[in-house]
Amino acid sequence: MTSKRARYVIGIDLGTTNSAISYIDTRRYPTGGSDAVQTFPVPQLTGEGEIAQRKGLPSFLYLSTGHDLPAGSLDLPWAENADLAVGEFARIQGAKVPGRLVSSAKSWLCHSGVDRKAPILPWGDVGEISKLSPVEVSSLYLKHMRDAWNHAVTAGDPAKQFEEQDLILTVPASFDQVARELTLEAAQKAGLAHVTLLEEPQAAFYSWIACHEKDWQQTIGPGTVILICDIGGGTTDFTLIRVKKGETGPVPERSAVGEHLLLGGDNMDLALARLVESRMMGGSEKRLDSLRWQMLTSLCRSAKEKILTEGEPQSVPISLPGRGKGIVAGALSGLLDSEDVQDAIIKGFFPCTQADEMPIPRTGSGIQEWGLPFAADPVVPRHLAAFLKRHQAADSSRADDSLSLRPDAILFNGGVFTPKGIRQRVVDIVSGWFSKAGGVKWRPVVLENELPAVAVARGAAYYGMVRRGRGIRIVGGSPRSYYVKVVTTGETEKSPGQIKAVCVIPRGMEEGEEAEIESPVFKVLPNQPVSFSLYSSNARRGDQLGQVLALQEDSLFKLPPLHTILRFGKKRVVRKIPVYLCARLTELGTLDLACHSRETEHRWRLEFNIRPAVSEKVEDKERLKKKGRKKSISEKSIARALKTLGAAFSAEGPLSDDQVTPATVMKALRDHLGTSKEKWPVPVLRRLADALLTEPDRRKISPRHEERWLNLVGFCLRPGYGDVADDYRMQQIWKVYHAGVIFSRDRQCRVEWWILWRRVAGGLSQKQQMALFRDLCPALLPGQKKGTKQHRLAAPERTEMWRTIANLERLPVDNKEEIGKTLIKQIGTSRGEGLNMWVLSRIASRIPLYGPLNEVVSARTVTRWIRRILETEWKKPDQTGFCVVQMACFSGDRERELDANLKDRIEERLSGLEDSERLSQRLHEMVSLSTTEQGRVFGEGLPGGLHLAE
């Protein structure tokens, strides 16, 4: 809740490349107003031991080793013996030593492909530096702002402390709920326990309102539609605000927000760096190493800012110091001029497009410079056209024949729009979309923010007063609707890609409003984890609270699942209890969902699972057209299969010759389900797995029971993810791990034990995978301490142990390198190819199947391994070639990419192989793996409809 006792209302713009603070002293300006909003000059390091105030705080962090700068160089009045710097000097020093620079932390907060709480920044192989998580880095920026304020303003008065004020922290409108919660966590780590989130485009509009509070209605009246284009260092945000007639006068209403686009100034810096790199390399395909590339990008960013600043030089020389030996390693120089910048930005990001030009869809996994999944299409007008087309329902009376919604006014925000020429370009493009051929030319009104660099922070401070009842409020509630997937027993078959979901938050629901969804009734098992699949949409309108809808999954944004454990009664209670959902948009700007018992007063809060996302892909429409609709398996057939499964593992044994046994159960299941086991869909597989997990002691009956139980449960749970309840199933199967192999003297039971863990490894946490790694090490890795009870490993058991260790993608890089060192020593021996090469390709893969990108083995290490492989004769060339390509395939991330010369050598060895053209393509392009290739990488086929990362 907002505290009216706080003296200051403070707006914080935590930007991708620049942050800022604005505030209102409510004692001096109790009613607010445009004059009341002040910008706080942030004290920060501007040089070694030099401190000065700046109107903003560059969002850069420099991590010192303690030996690179004189003692005391990074000290601040409030921090002695500092080993890091935030702000202007961090940016300057980091350009010289890029391996110690952290930038774009805000972009990493919304990257689901990594563990955002893990120490992954600076990205890549940076030597001795201790890395930090995106949350920790964001927290350090906020902490610096807090300490700077307290040093400059507090003067010993606790009531003036930063953390005691009304704090409004801005986030992109496109940030999902997980990114918002991580932002709040960063604030809490900085000692800011009570903050309210505000979307940046709204903050920019509030800033304009603050400057025109007395006459804003003369510019925008009822019916006016305002388009806010907000492009900063990392993201592109579009928002529509429509002015409607209220009871006491015009009221601005936020009517639409855009999708998340990782597209901004960072992309433009990279484009300029690629241009200069090409010139430095004489137009060849050679590329700079990662550290020099980061340095070049920083220099291009600085040059761009100088060139785009009026009165500054129109060309800037760029020089890179030499490293090592050779031509490429020597000193390099280039030049960036105004024409380069204009061509790269205007032609590359803001070309003239038609109103019906939509964004080019992503192919494969797209480019990931610095590990970040930037937008596949860099052309901003295409994304804008798609946004306006998608939200034509915002004001159907304004629908145009060629496009959708014509805005009356445009408000620009973000550093990208600092140059007037870029703003003018967007106005010209939008004007062209809506001007009739041969008719009157139409142009939107441009709303100008007087202080664009701090507009978001100023607007946030103004909003703080709005929350106290002062000023003009933007209404509109939630810009998105939210849905929870529901499954009905015995429901009729849905169309491909279609899900059934209940609307839990309709679009427009106001902050602080709580909604109870009485229908449908959910039934859940208590005292064990439950999970709900959550989706959102920023385009659907008119869906009502509690309405059950048939929705196309590819038209929705899938959020991480919500989960909780329903503690209820005695732990052995197994009956399902009826619950209903309760949803609330908090005043902090986050989503709160909970389960309520229909029988008692119990309430269980649902929390987001922020574990790095795995690739759970619904088959695309074209693939479905080619394959046709899959034959469904009836509930009656599944019931017969489950009954047969129970009989096979009965403690009584077969009562007749025709009764199913562990040896014959697979054939019986195939007969009941009417198809081969490879075609059993995920829902059927998981129901079979649940039946087996319910009775884990049945494997104790005999070695043959255990052998079949381990084999079948692993097959039905593979690859450990893909179903909403798999997290719970992984908890259950991990209890089996603690129990160990029952018939440990039986070789086949031991073999099936490792097959099980290889199959389900994708669903295990890093801690669990480390436990498996420790079990495997004594037998597989030399120098490891042997256990007290060792049996001689037969070839099949050793094979499955290696296959298991290969699939532990969440292992820390150090452990993967340990495995790789063992395998690479065997290259050239009789055991060097085949299995060992496949294991090495999994450990060293550039693109993990499910693991986080921050645990990928460095390009430097993998380069050494591949060079060793290239020196040997390939006795199994097709297999070895495929494995080497897995280790060297194109990733789009320069930190993971291998040297072009090395790829040339690989291509030479691939020539003449049966699939050489396909393999060579994978070295240079992002290529989707075929079903057969996925099977080769994973080690066996996957359930239908589930595909690995590409």
- Measure the CA–CA gap between 502 and 520, rounded to whole angstroms: 8
Model confidence pLDDT, tens digit, residues 606-634: 766 545 444 443 334 344 344 444 557 88
Q: Residues 594, 604: contact at Cβ < 8 Å? A: yes
pLDDT at 282: 81
pLDDT at 619: 38
What tokens does 843 get?
């450990």
Q: Which residue ranges form the domains of the chain, and what is each CATH number?
A: 8-196 (3.30.420.40), 201-262+375-466 (3.30.420.40), 265-354 (3.90.640.10), 481-608 (2.60.34), 614-808 (no CATH), 815-950 (no CATH)
pLDDT at 315: 86
Q: How many residues does the chain have?
A: 950
**Predicted model pTM:** 0.79
Q: Could you give the 3-state DSSP secondary structure of residue 642?
A: helix
Q: Could you give the 3-state DSSP secondary structure of residue 422?
A: helix
In order of 355, 572, 693, 826, the CA distances from 820 in angstroms are: 53, 46, 35, 10
Give the pLDDT band of residue 757 (cuts 50, 70, 90): very high
Interval 745-755 mean pLDDT:
95
Q: Residues 660, 648: contact at Cβ < 8 Å? A: yes
Instruction: Output DSSP code: residue 451.
Output: S
Instruction: Spell out the long-range contacts of 128-135 with Cβ–Cβ below 8 A and sequence spacing 24 or more.
Output: 128/65, 129/63, 129/65, 129/99, 129/100, 130/63, 132/61, 132/63, 132/102, 134/105, 134/106, 134/108, 134/109, 134/182, 135/109, 135/182, 135/185, 135/186, 135/189
Using a pLDDT cut of 90, give the percent of the chain over it: 47
Q: Is the pLDDT of residue 122 over 80?
A: yes
Interval 899-910 mean pLDDT:
92
Query: Which of 339-348, 562-571, 891-900 has the largest mean confidence?
Result: 339-348
Give the pLDDT band of residue 62 (cuts 50, 70, 90): very high
Q: Is the pLDDT of residue 90 over 80?
A: yes
Range from 22-36, 127-141, 300-314, 449-463 carrying the lowest mean pLDDT? 300-314
Query: Which of 20-24, 470-474, 557-561, 569-573 has the largest mean confidence?
Result: 20-24
pLDDT at 626: 44
Range from 331-335, 362-366, 892-896 carrying the lowest mean pLDDT? 362-366
Nearby residues of 506 by Cβ (< 8 Å), 6 or more positions away: 478, 481, 543, 544, 545
Name the residue with higher pLDDT: 809 or 678.
809
Model confidence pLDDT, tens digit, residues 781-837: 987 665 545 667 888 999 999 999 999 999 999 999 999 999 998 887 766 578 889
Instruction: Please give the single-letter amino acid code of residue 783.
Output: G
Q: Residues 138, 201: contact at Cβ < 8 Å? A: no
pLDDT at 755: 96
Q: Is the pLDDT of residue 236 over 90?
A: yes
Using a pLDDT cut of 70, give the percent of the chain over it: 87
Model confidence pLDDT, tens digit, residues 173-200: 888 888 898 999 999 999 998 899 999 9
Model confidence pLDDT, tens digit, residues 565-580: 677 766 555 577 888 8
pLDDT at 489: 55
Averaged pLDDT score across all residues of the chain: 85
pLDDT at 671: 92
Q: Residues 730, 763: contact at Cβ < 8 Å? A: yes
What tokens does 762 get?
């994708």
Range from 10-24, 239-253, 366-380, 671-685 carrying the lowest mean pLDDT? 366-380
Model confidence pLDDT, tens digit, residues 255-275: 888 888 889 999 999 999 999
Q: Is the pLDDT of residue 505 over 70?
A: yes
Give the pLDDT band of residue 950 (cuts 50, 70, 90): very low
Q: How many CB atoms lie within 10 A of CB 193?
A: 10
pLDDT at 379: 95
Q: Could you give the 3-state DSSP secondary structure of residue 303?
A: helix
pLDDT at 311: 62
